[in-house]
Amino acid sequence: MREIRPLTNHELEDYITIQLNAYPGVRVTREQMRERMARMQADPILSLVGLFDEGELTGVMRLYDFTMQLHGAPLLVGGLGGVAVALDHKKEKVAYEMVQFFLRHYREKEASLTALYPFRADFYKQMGFGYGRKLNQYRFHPHQLPKRGTKAHVGLLSSRDRYAFNACYQRVMARTNGMMENSPAYLDAMFTGDSLRVAGCWDGDELRGYVQFQFEPGRHRSLLSNELVVRALVYEETAVLYDLLAFLRSQADQIESIVLNTHDDDFHLLLTDPRNTGDLIFPTVYQESNIQGTGIMYRLIDVPRFFGLLRDHSFGGQTCRLKVQMADNFLPENAGAWVLDVVDGRAQLLPADTPHDVSLALDVAEFSSLVTGAIGFKTLLNYDLVELSDAACTETIHRLFYTDNKPVCFTSF
């Protein structure tokens, strides 16, 4: 008989064994994992959960109670991380059952949305998770940054700047889709590690932006070959951005290249030379400026609650009665049909038999990407990933769900 429940302290060594075997590429020792476990247990938003089969621990996962900003509303979002199955229990639907538990657990907690970073996107796509926004990675020399701004306002942050750091983050989060609140444990850990550094831009006593980065060996793997890898670049206004870039540019004597991870598709416009440090050319004379990757995925788990939480959001200022038929084979109780009654942008859900102007049918994965703003309706329609009853309503529905504020996430989990 199987049981899924939170782990007790005496089961943590088994948790570590499963994690080390499932993710050997992480390159951590058992002792390092023990230290990480101690930090996890101190985090109030995190729970360690396991699946037991006849009393034996066969799978583990981490559950996170996140608060995410979306379309002007703070939403409880369930986060899933560290899904791992014991080596001798693969192909026994252990992960399948754990993910179902995770989704139902957060439905019971009255969350409407969940999120995860997949190691196998196709695996979670089949479970109804939709793709979030892609991440770009730019690789360039420091001298390619613009000669603009000043590093005079920029300095390295320490634990004493914790509250100013979080206040800055919260201000940016309030106007940015997808950002998640920092937990106290995360803030404590960020300033105590040896590898991650944070440089902040000050306006008097107020922090207005920051760059999180770490040093990694450069391509030549020598003592003097280093790269500066930017994990997050957060700023409240353009002048702050240029000051932070001036700080990065000033590191030219120490680093051979900067690796910038960002959701910004247009960052190449700021560089004096948009080409990255490689030499890839593809027809006809297009040169690589960056690489992209899919990452975070989102999943609706309670459609009525989701739209209830967004009652103050303007859906493109549109007026329309749209019937939505959403399929969900992995979590059948989440599937359904509703009429989204939108008047001057304000929306409410009505029963499925309510008279409507147009109807669409799609899977929960695509609907999750659509309502979070990660993908536009026209794109789904062009790829035949949604069925629409009346093509004349395409523009209205596109505007209804469209946002130029695509979701951004700086939280790793």
**126-170, pLDDT tens digit by residue?**
999 999 999 999 999 999 999 999 999 999 999 999 999 999 999
The DSSP bridge partners found for residue 86 are: none
Q: Which fold is adopted by the domain 302-401?
A: Nonspecific Lipid-transfer Protein; Chain A (3.30.1050)
If DSSP codes are grouped into helix, strand and coil, which group holds residue 73? strand
Spatial separation of the C-alpha atoms in residues 72 and 74, rounded to whole Å: 7
Strands 135-140 and 286-287: unpaired
Spatial separation of the C-alpha atoms in residues 142 and 119, rounded to whole Å: 32
Task: Kindly tell me the sign of the dihedral angle through the C-alpha atoms of 352, 357, 363, 366.
Answer: negative
Q: What is the dihedral of CA 321, 327, 333, 338, to 10 degrees?
A: 10
Q: Helices (H), strands (E): how many in the chain?
A: 11, 21
Do 2-111 and 302-401 fold alike per CATH?
no
The answer to whether the CB of 7 falls within 8 A of the CB of 60 is yes
pLDDT in tens, 76-92: 999 999 999 999 999 99
Task: Give the CATH architecture of domain 136-293.
Answer: 3-Layer(aba) Sandwich (3.40)
User: How confident is residue 25, by pLDDT bands cut at 50, 70 and 90?
Assistant: confident
- The mean per-residue pLDDT over the stretch 305-324 comes to 98
Domain ranges of the chain: 2-111, 136-293, 302-401
Spatial separation of the C-alpha atoms in residues 304 and 306, rounded to whole Å: 5
What whole-number percentage of the chain has pLDDT above 90? 90
Q: What is the pLDDT of residue 225?
A: 80
Q: What is the pLDDT of residue 234?
A: 98
Spatial separation of the C-alpha atoms in residues 348 and 380, rounded to whole Å: 23
Task: Kindly tell me the sign of the dihedral angle through the C-alpha atoms of 69, 244, 231, 162.
Answer: negative
The yes-or-no verdict on residue 67 having pLDDT over 80 is: yes
Q: Which fold is adopted by the domain 2-111?
A: Aminopeptidase (3.40.630)
Structure tokens at 12: 């943590």
User: How confident is residue 190, by pLDDT bands cut at 50, 70 and 90?
Assistant: confident
Q: What is the pLDDT of residue 51?
A: 99
The yes-or-no verdict on residue 220 having pLDDT over 80 is: no
The answer to whether the CB of 81 falls within 8 A of the CB of 47 is no
